[in-house]
C-alpha cells in the first residue's frame, strides 16, 4: 500500500514497507490528500514501495493509500 507524505516530512520511516519512490498526485486531487505525518497538514505526494514502483513503470497509475483511498499519480 502506497503512503502519502509531503516532501518536507519526507518518506515514511519505521514502517514494515520501505518507501523509496516519490510521485506527484494528479492535479485534481493533489490539494485534497494531506500528509499522513501526525502533525502535518500540507498537501501530500505519494511514496511507493519497490514493488509498486515496478507496477508504475509498467503503466499502472492508480494506487491505494491508507484509509482505503485510491489515488492516481503522474
What is the Cα Rg of the chain in Å? 11
**Stated length of the chain:** 74
| pLDDT in the model for residue 6 | 93
Q: What is the pTM of this model?
A: 0.86
Question: Domain locations in the chain?
Answer: 3-72
pLDDT tens, residue by residue, 15-67? 788 999 999 988 665 568 899 898 999 999 999 999 999 999 999 999 998 88
Concatenate the DSSP letters of all residues of 30-64 into one string: TTTSBP-STT--SBPEEEEEHHHHHHHHTT--EEE
Amino acid at each position: 500500500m502506497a503512503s502519502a507524505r509531503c516532501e518536507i516530512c519526507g518518506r515514511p520511516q519505521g514502517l514494515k514497507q520501505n518507501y523509496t519512490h516519490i510521485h506527484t498526485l494528479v492535479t485534481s486531487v493533489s490539494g485534497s490528500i494531506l500528509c499522513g505525518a501526525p502533525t502535518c497538514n500540507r498537501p501530500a505526494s505519494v511514496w511507493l514501495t519497490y514493488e509498486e514502483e515496478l507496477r508504475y513503470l509498467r503503466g499502472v497509475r492508480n494506487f491505494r493509500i491508507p484509509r482505503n483511498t485510491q489515488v492516481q499519480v503522474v
